Amino acid sequence: MARIIDENYSKIAEKLKALNHILITSHINPDGDNISSITALGMGLSSLGKSVTIALVSPVPHIYKFLPYTEGIIDFKKLDEDRPNFDCAIVLDVGSLKRVGETVDIRKYTKLVLNIDHHVKTENCGDISFVDSSYSSTAEIIYNLLVDMDIKITAEIAETLYAGIMTDTGGFQFQNTTASAMKTISELIAAGASPEKISQKIYFSNRAAKIVLMGKVLSTLKFDPSGKIGWIVATKDVIDECGANSDDLENVVNNITSIETIEVAILFRDLKDGKIKLSLRARNNVDVQKFALKYQGGGHKKAAGMVLEATLEEAVNRVIFEFRDYIRG
Ligand code: 5GP
Ligand code: MN
């Protein structure tokens, strides 16, 4: 019997089995679950003799480069030069095709778009879509899919999927650290994933520039009078000054949720492109996914993101003002 019983999930497995020339992609600004899901599926499908191309809009962040198969991930610009046609594209860890990147029109490359995701569903995405937010991560769904497709979980696939589940559960700390996630983790360790190696590579292999940047960004911390809302800001100038990248800010905002009074923590990122990117984190009963949805963003109840077209000052004033009301309910 299949590990996941769902009509669309089974249809996706059938298509992947039947088709040969497959494009795999995920969202802009990749995180661990993104990189893990696309490369694990890529390795699994390649082991069936399929021709697999993995493309992303953004480069692979430094801390995930040790993962197998990441060196083969290409930029969509390269695809445009080659103009290939795929039997299908599978879009992972996103609930909207726009999240792949505004410059990408996935329909240019294929007629059939498949989708697997674990975020709160907000719109239809692709032609056949399996979305289940009860899963800890897209990596956990990919594990089940590979097993259901009778694909061997090699030590490399196990290590990769372990990294995805570990990062999306915040090192097995968040609400999505479920029994099912931990059962999968146990199977991945048995298949050859080394918890020590993976956490050393991901959590203890930072470049010095990242830590210097974190210090500068954390020092911008401000609170609303209640102490329940805390926010930090990062500008392109400070990132450049430290010799760091924007992806060095992944999860920096989580530090703010370690302050005892905090219910909402926000990172405002000004990359000087006329847009402000927000990373939202919540505690207790605050639902930041719902807040982000008002601005066409999304994610999970306790971790979400959105983009605002505004100056940094406008974005901060508007969002903090609205959050004061929002958390009062
Ligand atoms: P982060 O704040 O770490 O970038 O993202 C937190 C969560 O929200 C992740 O699950 C991420 O996929 C999602 N997310 C971040 N930014 C956006 C966005 O602009 N739109 C949507 N739909 N989801 C986002
Ligand atoms: Mn995810």
Residue 11: the pLDDT is 98
Task: Check pLDDT > 80 for residue 329.
Answer: no
Query: CA–CA separation, 194 vs 58, rounded Å?
Result: 27
Residue 328: the pLDDT is 87
Query: CA–CA separation, 104 vs 102, rounded Å?
Result: 6
Query: CA–CA separation, 269 vs 217, rounded Å?
Result: 10
The ligand 1 atom at the shortest distance from the C-alpha of residue 93 is 12
| φ, ψ dihedrals at 114, nearest 5° | -105, 155
Residues around ligand 2, an ion, CB closer than 5 A: 33, 93, 137-138, 168
Residues 187 and 225 reside in one and the same domain: no
Q: How confident is the model over 281-289, as a mean pLDDT? A: 95
Query: CA–CA separation, 225 vs 218, rounded Å?
Result: 19
Q: Give the pLDDT confidence of 131-174 residue by residue, as tens digits.
A: 999 999 999 999 999 999 999 999 999 999 999 999 999 999 99
**151 CA from centroid of ligand 2 (Å):** 22
Residues 184 and 242 reside in one and the same domain: no
* Domain-terminating residue out of 157, 181, 203: 203
What confidence category does residue 63 fall into, taking pLDDT thresholds of 50, 70 and 90? very high
Residues 29 and 51 reside in one and the same domain: yes
Residues 58 and 148 reside in one and the same domain: yes
Q: Measure the N-to-C terminal CA separation of the chain; round to a whole number of Å.
A: 45
Residues 42, 45, 47, 52, CA torsion sign: negative
Q: Give the pLDDT confidence of 245-271 residue by residue, as tens digits.
A: 999 999 999 999 999 999 999 999 998
Query: CA–CA separation, 31 vs 158, rounded Å?
Result: 18
| φ, ψ dihedrals at 50, nearest 5° | -85, 155
* Domain-terminating residue out of 203, 237, 262: 203
Residues 156 and 69 reside in one and the same domain: yes
Provide the percentage of residues in the chain whose pLDDT is more than 70.
100
- Average pLDDT taken over every residue of the chain: 97
Domain tally for the chain?
2
Residues 192 and 304 reside in one and the same domain: no
Q: Atom 19, ligand 1: which residue's CA is nearest?
A: 306
Phi-psi region of 192 (alpha: psi -120 to 50; beta: other; left: phi over 0): left
Query: CA–CA separation, 140 vs 33, rounded Å?
Result: 9
* Domain-terminating residue out of 203, 234, 266: 203
Query: CA–CA separation, 96 vs 26, rounded Å?
Result: 10
Residues 167 and 74 reside in one and the same domain: yes
Q: Which domain holds residue 273?
A: 208-328
Residue 106 sits in a domain of what CATH number?
Answer: 3.90.1640.10
Residues 221 and 292 reside in one and the same domain: yes
* Any domain includes 1: no
* Any domain includes 82: yes
Query: CA–CA separation, 266 vs 259, rounded Å?
Result: 13
* Any domain includes 99: yes
Q: Atom 2, ligand 1: which residue's CA is nearest?
A: 279
Q: What is the pTM of this model?
A: 0.96
What tokens does 323 get? 């959050």
67, 43 contact by CB (below 8 A) = no
The ligand 1 atom at the shortest distance from the C-alpha of residue 306 is 19
Q: Atom 21, ligand 1: which residue's CA is nearest?
A: 298
The ligand 1 atom at the shortest distance from the C-alpha of residue 168 is 10
Residues 60 and 112 reside in one and the same domain: yes
* Any domain includes 199: yes
Task: Check pLDDT > 90 for residue 316.
Answer: yes
Q: How confident is the model over 177-206, as a mean pLDDT? A: 98
Q: Give the pLDDT confidence of 221-248 residue by residue, as tens digits.
A: 999 999 999 999 999 999 999 999 999 9
Residue 295 sits in a domain of what CATH number?
Answer: 3.10.310.30
